[in-house]
Structure 1
Amino acid sequence: MIAPRFLRIIGCMTGELPEPVSRNELRVSHAEREAVVERLSKAAAEGRLDLTELDARLDRALTARTYADLTPLTADLPSEVSSVPKEPLVIKGGLSGATRAGYWQVPAKIVAYGGMGGAKLDFTQVDCHLPEIELEVHGQAGGVTVVIPDGWVAETSAMDPGLGGLKDKVTPTRLPGTPLVRVSGTGGPGGVVVRHSNSWERRKLRRNQQR
């Protein structure tokens, strides 16, 4: 019996259109394997898997080649996406400014307006498992500052810098299992800054963790 993949090759040689490849046959990436490893480890910490089950599934996850190998490993675990807010989060700086920091639930879409007082979005303490975050920012007069953890990356090519400009200070290296922040909008007079934590913010976070 001729394997399906060889039938597709023969079809291409004879000019026939190949059959579409199912999702299960598609190859998985390193990032997708690491995301499953992280989910399995968290499930074990929650008591959903014992150590024997965890070890067996981790071995299968690290050697998975296709979605058919990877998907069943988390099929009996509750989805984490269900807890993600479905409505967009809207942040308005207004006259006195607005800050979203600490631990907070991150939705798939966020809209931030700098207003007169400015707006700041700090993602450094969130636990986010989304593959992407859509972030629409409007600097207006006060500007918008976005702080993301090390290992996260931002895509800012869709931004209109406006009069205040855009400062993208994020390192280009993305760690497996972290979201991509797609930034759009306009800088306005106040501008938009996308960066990692500065030294003062890092010291403050360490002090808070030691309490």
Structure 2
Amino acid sequence: MTAQSPEPSPRPASSGELRASHDDREAVVEQLRDAAAEGRIDFEELDSRLEQALRSKTHAELAVLTADLPAPHAPGDQPALVLKGGLYGASRGPERWDVPGHVIAHGGVGGVKIDFSRVESRLKEIAVEAYGETAGVTLVIPDGWAADTSGMDPGFGGLKDKTSADRLPGTPLIRLTGSGGMAGVVIRHPNRWERRKLHGNPTRG
């Protein structure tokens, strides 16, 4: 009786042959839209490439659509933003500002307030280290943004999380760590007065 030879193992797929996910396609769509906004491709070509991107099934098919475009800026290349309350306090926002993927806030004796109300971010997550120290740290995030505060040490001053768990698609998650210190850390959505200012001057900055 002739012994059967073992069947060959399946050949592993190359990176280009790997199936693309929804996130992979969405990343290419965003890169194409940025390229059109910068004038690298015209809008007729943008429509054509977007259609192909949404139909693409593999990484190779997606790669063809961006081969002649510069690589997108990696959020991790941006240095962390460090805010120190010092004697007189520190703040960022509510005017428009470019938020990096990592923010560090030390309340000091003057306190720190970080307002993300007018931030437009494509980051999936923003890591925020907040140390309340003597005067505390306040974070204001837009409606539709959500926060994960499970890594936060409340310290003596505590943590007040007044945010909603309802997160809109395409918005970043604020991943909050650090310590409340003596004065504590507060994370919330805009209050009534802040909302009035936002609605009265929505394009500030």
Structure 2 length-normalised TM: 0.77
What SS class does the counterpart of residue 185 from structure 1 fall into? strand
- Structural mapping, 1:51-200, within 5 Å: 51-81=43-73, 86-101=78-93, 102-168=95-161, 169-176=163-170, 178-200=171-193
Larger Rg: 2
Contact 1:170 1:194 in 2 (8 A): no
Residues 1:203 and 2:175 aligned together = no
Equivalent position SS for 1:62 = helix
Alignment gaps of 5+ in structure 1: 1-6, 12-17
Change (3 A) 1:197 1:186: same
CA contact (8 A) 2:31 2:72 kept: no
Query: Helix, strand or coil for the counterpart of 1:81?
Result: coil
Higher helix share: 1
Offset, 1:173: 1.9
Matched, 1:43 2:43: no
Instruction: Note the aligned Cα RMSD (angstroms).
Output: 2.9
2: CA distance, partners of 1:156 / 1:83: 22
Segments of structure 2 that go 5 or more residues without pairing to the other structure are: 1-6
- Between Structure 1 and Structure 2, how many residues are aligned? 195
* Contact 1:85-1:106 at 8 Å conserved across structures: no
Deviation by residue 1:112-142 (Cα, 9 ceiling, x = unmatched): 0111222111222234333332211101122
Alpha-carbon distance in structure 1 between the residues aligned to 2:159 and 2:97: 25
Query: Share of identical aligned residues, percent?
Result: 52
**Which residue identity does 1:96 align to in structure 2?**
Y
User: Structure 1's 140 and 41: CA in aligned 2 closer, same or farther, altered over 3 A?
Assistant: same
Instruction: Sort the Cα spacing of 1:99 and 1:85 in 2 relative to 1 into closer, same or farther, 3 A.
Output: farther
Once the 2 structures are TM-superposed, how far is the Cα of residue 91 of structure 1 from its aligned partner? 0.4
Residues 55-85 of structure 1: per-residue CA shift (max 9 Å, x gap): 1111122233343333443343334426876
In 2, are the aligned partners of 1:80 and 1:129 still within 8 Å (CA)?
Answer: no
Runs of 4+ in 1 over 6 A off after TM superposition: none
Q: In structure 1, what residue type is equivalent to 2:199?
A: R
Report the secondary structure of 2:202's partner residue: helix
Gap change, CA 1:167 and 1:83, over 3 Å in 2 = closer
- Answer whether contact 1:141 1:188 (CA < 8 A) is retained: yes
CA contact (8 A) 2:106 2:131 kept: yes
TM-score (norm. length: structure 1): 0.76
Structure 2 Cα separation of the partners of residues 155 and 19 of structure 1: 41
Amino acid at match of 2:96: Y
